[in-house]
Structure 1
Amino acid sequence: MSFFLNLERWHSPPSLGKMRTHAMDFNTDLLGANQSSAQPRRQSCSQLPAYRRRKPDGIGTGTRDRGWLEISKVLLGRAGRAIQNDTVLFLSQIWITALKQGVKAATFFWPVSIPLERRILTMLQWLHLPEGESPYVYAMHSEQPDTYGHKVGPMSAELNSPLRLIDRIVGQLMDGLKQMKLHRCVNIILVGDHGMEEAHCDRTEFLSNYLSNADDIILIPGSLGRIRSRFPNNPKYDAKAVVANLTCKRADQHFKAYLKQHLPKRLHYANNRRIEDIHLLVERKWHVARKVPEGKRHCGFAGDHGYDNKINSMQTIFLGYGPTFKFKTKVPAFENIELYNVMCDLLGLKPAPNNGTHGSMNHLLRSPPHRATMPEEVSRPLSSALAPAGTDDLGCSCDDKNKVETSGCELQ
């Protein structure tokens, strides 16, 4: 769920408020392990971006991204039809882990043409299936908060409408579970994939104001700029020179250019050949674009995400409810990369290899099934066979040099 709003901002959401009263509550501070775009955040519930086989898509890239086109040759085929039920893109997704361990899973991620009420009703119908046919793992996505957040901005009163809708379908889900006497038997996680920040076309940096050869590059524009050469294997393209031409050129510059190997290590976004050589970390509320558009333009958005994940507005919500979670507990911030192991613990599954730390979220659970243990010592430490190097006394002292001279220059 693209859910970025602080529930305190909307007064008394009935269903969410009731669930929150009894739940493991972690509101608005779920930290992303990488940049705050939607698909990378969804993927990073178990893996860091540099270790995924699919390249994360940033703002405005979609399937036009070169790295995506490269892998799509395997996935799409000649007719361009997307291959369903393919596991290449989902290395450690919880439903794939479940299926591989003989546990039936059901997901309702898309399409947007199906109303949320129908999605919830469908999931409740799946629960009514006979034993052996009914799935054990369920997942559903809601795009409404994200859609409205982009359109009207995160501070708009118009966001109350999608919030009421989310609250209503959560109530619909809980009512259905209660009718089946399952409301005390299931574990429910409500989680967002990113936050939202105010943004507008008027706050845009154009690289043509910095580069004389802006036509020679391809920029993935928006809140997290990525740059590559327009012409592959161009011997004249020098990423270091481009970064130098984009660094500290104006006092009011609203982005900072990095070679990917110099990006902050906390982003985990360098060690992959599909990641562009140059990245622009953009100041919150701002965008980057390649060149000034010709003629009058219409700005169709008032909010965006994809900014540096340390910015508070890029954080999101986690709420856990059910018999396995601790009761009425608020926990400190944690990274979303730890969610996969938590979900495996809830379902009794063995996690696939991932970048999270299994057991680090045990404080969320009443009776954690996994206890992290230190590896046994395989050998005793041995004393060094090397002879002592001798005395450390070099026969000199710096004490005289460190004395403060006071003669002839007494303080007045």
Structure 2
Amino acid sequence: MKILFRPLLCSLMALAAGCATTHDHPAAVAPAPQAAIKQAPAPVLLISIDGYRADYLSRGLSPTLQTLANTGVHAASGMQPSFPSLTFPNHYTIVTGLRPDHHGIVNNTMTDPVLGKFSLGNRDAVSNGRWWDQGTPLWETVQTQGMKSATMFWPGSEADIHGKHPNYWKPYDGNVTADQRVDQVLAWLDLPADQRPTFITLYFDEVDHAGHSFGPDSPQVNDAIRHTDEALSRLVDGLKQRGQLDRINLIVVADHGMAHTPTRNTVLVDRLIPLKHVDVVSMGVLAGFNPKPGFDFAKIEATLEKPQKHMTCWDKTRVPARLAYGSNPRVPQLLCLADVGWRISSSDYVAKKKSTTQGEHGYDNEAPEMQALFIAHGPAFRQGAQVPSFPNVDVYPLMTHLLDVPAAANDGDYNAVKGMLKPEAQ
């Protein structure tokens, strides 16, 4: 039965290089009761390939992923991201089971009435647990149940959410190679049983970076797909050598897909409204504006909510219900969503920018280009099974079931995904 979350009126890491430490950061956790350790479930390794669009698998460049799909469970048409189809909101959705409107990470760039401004490059913000505390990440629940967790880069894992970190975690460092990330996960699995994590995350970002810089149909994206699959092959080989491949439940996901956005496909919003009359919260695929004292915001809304070329605008109270977005205080009062393949910007920004991205995401989460990879493999999963598309909020109750831990309040539906498990594992 679906559990609906009622958002509270409260308030990875930044995806930017510059944090070069590679030391573990163990979090203090009370000793687990002996009974909780006695019958530990099979470990769950959650792997994210940022920006790996569902149909990338059909390019034939990911033999390791294809083998896992053929011998496990695969959502052939993809997994549907939550809206907005952006990196931080969807990564946090996957580990909380909450839609962005409910867990509070409503955009990669946002403002909070109390906390101020949040952006990917603001390390103080991304490491501040108050931005993230409207949700309860799975690593926190796992630890309260007497098991250990480890995150090899995951949005939110750098923050002291509810005063806690994962037992083992890494501050994001874009210079850490895919192979090094894999090796760290294997090292954690080599720890003595009483120190070994039961829930682990692993994050790859090369596919997303290439998609933004060169577009989803570029040779550079194909190279990134190959490189990431080679790192996954290293992981699978390492698990085989340890006799663990058939003893660990692997869940491979993406946070969103990617759409081609030619440079010319830019809506210049300053040609429609005077930007100095609003507080600009964000630009890009999903632009957000708040009222500025002394100016007629109702007139601004009336202008932008008229039919526009290549974008649609709403007051937050009028966002279509299927997007499940607009109730959180961090959502700007006025939202403009670009059509797939377009972006929203300003004349000044375009004039100063030396180059523009050739690929973007953040669009309507029903768009085919936004559908994300989902593959699962392990002792609990059926073999050679294809499942229909499902919303990514359902991954969370699937993982809590596999780990035999109580689920926090969430928007997911375990009954929608339990069919991918073997009968004895349901």
* CA shift for structure 1 position 304: 0.5
- The match for 2:111 is 66
Paired AA for residue 337 in structure 1: V
1:242 is the counterpart of 2:300: yes
Paired AA for residue 333 in structure 2: D
5+ residue gaps, structure 2: 1-48, 154-171
- The match for 2:400 is 344
1:223 is the counterpart of 2:285: yes
Which residue, out of 188, 196, 206, partners 2:258?
196
* Partner Cα separation in structure 2 for residue 198 and residue 204 of structure 1: 12
Is the Cα contact below 8 Å between 2:83 and 2:100 reproduced in 1? Answer: yes
Structure 1 SS opposite 2:114: helix
Q: Deviations over 1:208-248 (max 9, x none)?
A: 2222x33211331111111113x3xx254324x22221244
Paired AA for residue 217 in structure 1: V
Paired AA for residue 360 in structure 1: A
* CA shift for structure 1 position 294: 7.5
Paired AA for residue 74 in structure 2: D
- The match for 1:165 is 227
Taking the TM superposition and a 5 Å limit, the aligned residue runs for 1:4-43 are 4=53, 6-11=55-60, 13-43=62-92
* CA shift for structure 1 position 82: 6.5
* Partner Cα separation in structure 1 for residue 297 and residue 355 of structure 2: 33
| Worse-matched range after superposition: 141-150 or 30-39 | 30-39
Distance 1:210 1:12, change over 3 A: closer
* Partner Cα separation in structure 2 for residue 295 and residue 50 of structure 1: 33
Distance 1:145 1:299, change over 3 A: same
* Partner Cα separation in structure 2 for residue 218 and residue 85 of structure 1: 25
Structure 2 SS opposite 1:29: coil
Distance 1:116 1:28, change over 3 A: farther
5+ residue gaps, structure 1: 371-412
Is the Cα contact below 8 Å between 1:92 and 1:354 reproduced in 2? Answer: no
Distance 1:284 1:141, change over 3 A: same
Distance 1:42 1:82, change over 3 A: closer
Q: Percent identity?
A: 24
* Partner Cα separation in structure 2 for residue 286 and residue 73 of structure 1: 25
- The match for 2:135 is 91
Taking the TM superposition and a 5 Å limit, the aligned residue runs for 1:195-214 are 195-211=257-273, 213-214=274-275
1:49 is the counterpart of 2:100: yes
* CA shift for structure 1 position 297: 4.4
Structure 1 SS opposite 2:416: coil
* CA shift for structure 1 position 150: 0.1
1:362 is the counterpart of 2:411: no
TM-score w.r.t. the length of structure 1 is 0.79
Paired AA for residue 16 in structure 1: L
- The match for 1:396 is none
* Partner Cα separation in structure 1 for residue 61 and residue 132 of structure 2: 42
Supply the RMSD in Å over aligned alpha carbons: 2.5
- The count of residues paired between Structure 1 and Structure 2 equals 352
| Worse-matched range after superposition: 330-339 or 201-210 | 201-210
Is the Cα contact below 8 Å between 1:228 and 1:278 reproduced in 2? Answer: yes
Structure 1 SS opposite 2:75: strand
Distance 1:208 1:122, change over 3 A: closer
- The match for 2:356 is 300
Which residue, out of 253, 258, 261, partners 2:317?
261
* Partner Cα separation in structure 1 for residue 312 and residue 190 of structure 2: 54
Is the Cα contact below 8 Å between 1:224 and 1:307 reproduced in 2? Answer: yes
Is the Cα contact below 8 Å between 2:188 and 2:197 reproduced in 1? Answer: yes
* Partner Cα separation in structure 2 for residue 101 and residue 17 of structure 1: 34
* Partner Cα separation in structure 2 for residue 165 and residue 294 of structure 1: 32
Which residue, out of 281, 292, 306, partners 2:337?
281
- The match for 2:10 is none
* CA shift for structure 1 position 90: 7.1
* CA shift for structure 1 position 111: 2.0
- The match for 1:117 is 179
| Worse-matched range after superposition: 321-330 or 348-357 | 348-357
- The match for 2:41 is none
TM-score w.r.t. the length of structure 2 is 0.77
Paired AA for residue 141 in structure 2: T
* CA shift for structure 1 position 164: 1.2
* CA shift for structure 1 position 70: 3.2
Is the Cα contact below 8 Å between 2:79 and 2:374 reproduced in 1? Answer: yes
* Partner Cα separation in structure 1 for residue 90 and residue 409 of structure 2: 18
Structure 2 SS opposite 1:141: strand
Paired AA for residue 368 in structure 2: N
* Partner Cα separation in structure 1 for residue 65 and residue 350 of structure 2: 46
* CA shift for structure 1 position 7: 3.7
Distance 1:18 1:81, change over 3 A: closer
* CA shift for structure 1 position 36: 0.6
Q: Deviations over 1:172-221 (max 9, x none)?
A: 1111111111111111011000010011332111122222x332113311
Is the Cα contact below 8 Å between 2:284 and 2:345 reproduced in 1? Answer: yes
1:154 is the counterpart of 2:216: yes
* Partner Cα separation in structure 1 for residue 350 and residue 409 of structure 2: 50
* Partner Cα separation in structure 2 for residue 175 and residue 294 of structure 1: 46
